[in-house]
């Protein structure tokens, strides 16, 4: 009995650990792609987001996708960072084009998606984002960056939407077309709460003529959660390469690593049992 509890606790612990590591990987990718601090002054999510396109499945942070791949509206699920996190009831969901690395964000962002009153459905440990009963201000518009303008960063964010939320008059009605707005001014003026979760992807149209600085790799073994595991499987694993797009496609070693870690803990617990 005691051993069974030990095994269960070890598995739960490993799951929370890997969620923390996955969240830290997204945070590191946001910094690496200069989404923080250029678009967002800070990014401290309390949940892990999974963004799923019917064309490619679940994407990794910064994944380089084609316009065709991002045409369908993605589905979104959230996993709280740990069991002490209580997710809000109401969210505002948005996707903005932060442009290529180096873009002057004070000029605003193109709004590709804005939905108020988004809720969660499903089990507490993995909840689906639902737009049923929500107010779609700007319906999802798949990225279509201008040809030759470089790799654009599309940032998807879920803000906590408190009861006191008051949208500006010109962004309060459904069917408001895609246009440029100031994400931070909108969040502040309407009284949105903190960002609960976020993700980004990259779309490029044709060869780039832009001379903007590329981003560098995210080494997951340097993330704080990788150190606190004390697991050798966490060290030396490189989950990124020197561009936002390849950083993304290289996230699978991270998944593999987490799986390895979970099984290591499981194996240890089993060893104690025997
Ligand atoms: C749970 O996650 C939140 C959000 O990331 C964090 O602030 C908090 O310290 C974590 N609590 C524990 C017990 O790990
Ligand atoms: C939640 O569960 C779904 C279905 O099993 C999965 O595709 C998704 O990745 C999970 N979400 C997270 C954030 O792990
Ligand atoms: C990203 O994908 C586009 C095609 O959608 C391609 O032109 C571009 O070279 C890719 N960039 C990288 C860094 O792989
Ligand atoms: C949730 O959002 C919807 C749509 O914005 C709003 O009508 C509703 O009052 C909100 N509920 C709470 C509890 O804030
Ligand atoms: C809404 O109105 C504000 C203030 O008049 C203006 O600065 C902003 O550009 C408008 N936003 C949109 C999306 O039209």
Q: Where are the domains of the chain?
A: 10-208
pLDDT at 242 over 50: no
CATH 2.40.50.70 assigned to domain 10-208? The reply is no
Confidence grade of residue 203 (pLDDT, cut at 50, 70, 90): very high
What is the spatial distance between Cα 237 and Cα 254, in angstroms, rounded to a whole number?
8
Say what the pLDDT of residue 15 is. Answer: 77
Q: Atom 12, ligand 2: which residue's CA is nearest?
A: 50
Does the beta carbon of 181 lie inside 6 Å of ligand 5? Answer: yes
CA of 39 to the centre of ligand 2 (A): 27
d(CA 49, CA 157) in angstroms, rounded, equals 9
In the prediction, which pLDDT does 125 show?
87
Is the pLDDT at 179 greater than 90, yes or no?
A: yes
Each residue of 165-204: b (16+ CB within 10 Å) or e? bebeeebeeeebebeebbbeebbeebebbebbbbbbbbbb
Mean pLDDT along residues 223-232: 62
pLDDT of amino acid 149: 94
pLDDT in tens, 150-161: 999 999 999 999
pLDDT in tens, 183-195: 999 999 999 999 9
pLDDT value of residue 14: 73
Query: How far is residue 118 CA from its own chain's centroid?
Result: 16
Q: Strand 47-53 relative to strand 75-80: parallel, antiparallel, unpaired?
A: antiparallel
* Ligand 3 site, residue 247, Cβ cutoff 6 A: no
Instruction: Give residue 266's pLDDT band: very low, low, confident or very high (50, 70, 90).
Output: very low
How long, in residues, is the chain?
Answer: 274
User: Atom 9 of ligand 2 has which residue's CA nearest to it?
Assistant: 50
Residues with Cβ < 8 Å from 156, sequence gap 6 or more?
49, 51, 74, 76, 93, 94, 95, 113, 198, 199, 200, 201
What mean pLDDT do residues 202-223 have?
Answer: 77
Gap from CA of 11 to ligand 1 centroid (Å): 18
Of 38-52, 81-95, 122-136, 203-217, the range with the lowest mean pLDDT is 203-217
Q: Which of 169, 162, 158 is nearest to 131 (CA)?
A: 158
Residue 265 has pLDDT above 50, yes or no: no
Residue 173, ligand 5, Cβ within 6 A: no
What is the pLDDT of the chain when averaged over all its residues? Answer: 83
Higher pLDDT pick, 238 / 133: 133
Report whether residue 69 contacts ligand 3, using a CB cutoff of 6 Å.
no
Residue 21's φ and ψ, nearest 5 degrees, are: -65, -40
The CA distance from 243 to 33, in Å, is: 9
Query: What is the separation of C-alpha 155 from the centre of its chain, rounded to a whole number of angstroms?
Result: 8
Residue 16 CA, closest ligand 1 atom number: 14
- Ligand 2 near 228 CB (within 6 A): no
d(CA 113, CA 115): 7
What is the distance between the alpha carbons of residues 93 and 223, in angstroms, rounded to a whole number? Answer: 27
Q: What is the pLDDT of residues 44-91, one digit of tens each?
A: 999 999 999 999 999 999 999 999 999 999 999 999 999 999 999 999
Does 67 sit in the ligand 3 pocket, CB within 6 Å?
no
């Amino acid at each position: 009995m005691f051993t069974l509890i030990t095994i269960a606790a070890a598995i739960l612990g490993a799951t929370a650990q890997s969620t923390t590591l996955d969240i830290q990987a997204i945070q590191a990718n946001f910094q690496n792609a200069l989404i923080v601090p250029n678009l967002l002054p800070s990014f401290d999510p309390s949940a892990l987001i999974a963004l799923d396109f019917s064309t490619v499945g679940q994407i990794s942070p910064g994944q380089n996708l084609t316009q065709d791949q991002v045409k369908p509206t993605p589905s979104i699920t959230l996993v709280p960072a740990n069991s002490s996190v209580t997710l809000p009831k109401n969210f505002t969901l948005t996707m903005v084009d932060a442009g290529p690395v180096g873009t002057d964000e004070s000029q605003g962002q193109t709004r590709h998606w804005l939905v108020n009153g988004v809720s969660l459905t499903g089990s507490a440990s993995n909840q689906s984002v639902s737009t049923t009963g929500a107010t779609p201000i700007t319906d999802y518009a798949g990225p279509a960056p201008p040809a030759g303008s470089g790799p654009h960063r599309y940032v998807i964010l879920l803000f906590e939407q408190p009861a006191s939320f008051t949208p500006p008059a010109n962004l309060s009605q459904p069917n408001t077309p895609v246009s440029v707005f100031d994400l931070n001014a909108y969040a502040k003026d309407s009284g949105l709460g903190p960002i609960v979760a976020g993700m980004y992807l990259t779309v490029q149209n044709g060869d780039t003529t832009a001379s903007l600085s590329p981003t560098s790799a995210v080494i997951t073994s340097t993330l704080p959660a990788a150190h606190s595991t004390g697991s050798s499987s966490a060290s030396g694993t490189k989950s990124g390469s020197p561009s936002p797009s390849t950083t993304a496609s290289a996230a699978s070693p991270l998944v593999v690593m987490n799986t390895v870690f979970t099984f290591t803990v499981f194996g240890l617990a089993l060893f104690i049992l025997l």
